[in-house]
Amino acid sequence: MIKSWMVIGAVTFLVALLSNVLRPKDVKWFLRLRRPRWLTFEALIPVIWTIVFICGAWSAYIVWELTQNWWLMAFYLLVEVAIVLYSPVTLWTHSLKAGTVVGAIGSVLGFILALTVLPISGWAALLLVPYLIWSPIGTYTTWTMDRLNPDKTRDGNKNGDRNSIPTQR
């Protein structure tokens, strides 16, 4: 028999996996961006997101076992989709502003989810804390990077003019 934790884990894994549909040219663009000096933990970001996803799935499992509520599971899925949309949206559009908006939306949804599940299970809400801490940090980092890279647009043109000819530096 398939257990609920298996389904929740599989859905979490598949949704996270879908966020990795990235084009090499977009990753190259992102890697060339200036970063804040205080961003010393960039190598840990995949580990941080792994912890966030595991904790989120565990939280969803607890809530499912206590409520069997499909609407709450849909809300967990919505939060995860908001999380994983960050990379494709930011990289496909070459827009840190878009990434900041997606990150902020994910943060707000995460806080609403935590407040929603708190009366159901303190443990389930506590398992969302890694996301509640990390999401605003990631959003702030993206916002800061946008300020450090005002001349970076989709084609590398200045001032957001996509019709201008890129200049050499």
The series of mean pLDDT values per 10 residues for the chain, 169 residues long, is 89 84 87 93 90 95 96 95 91 93 96 98 97 95 93 54 36
What is the token pair recorded at 107?
Answer: 């943060």
Contact predicate 62/5, CB 8 Å = no
Determine the Cα–Cα distance for residues 160 and 151; give it in Å rounded to an integer.
7
At 121 the pLDDT is 97
At 18 the pLDDT is 80
Determine the Cα–Cα distance for residues 71 and 61; give it in Å rounded to an integer.
14
**What does the angle CA 95 – CA 99 – CA 105 come to, to the nearest 5 degrees?**
145
For residue 71, the one-letter residue type is W
Contact predicate 75/116, CB 8 Å = yes
Determine the Cα–Cα distance for residues 30 and 49; give it in Å rounded to an integer.
18
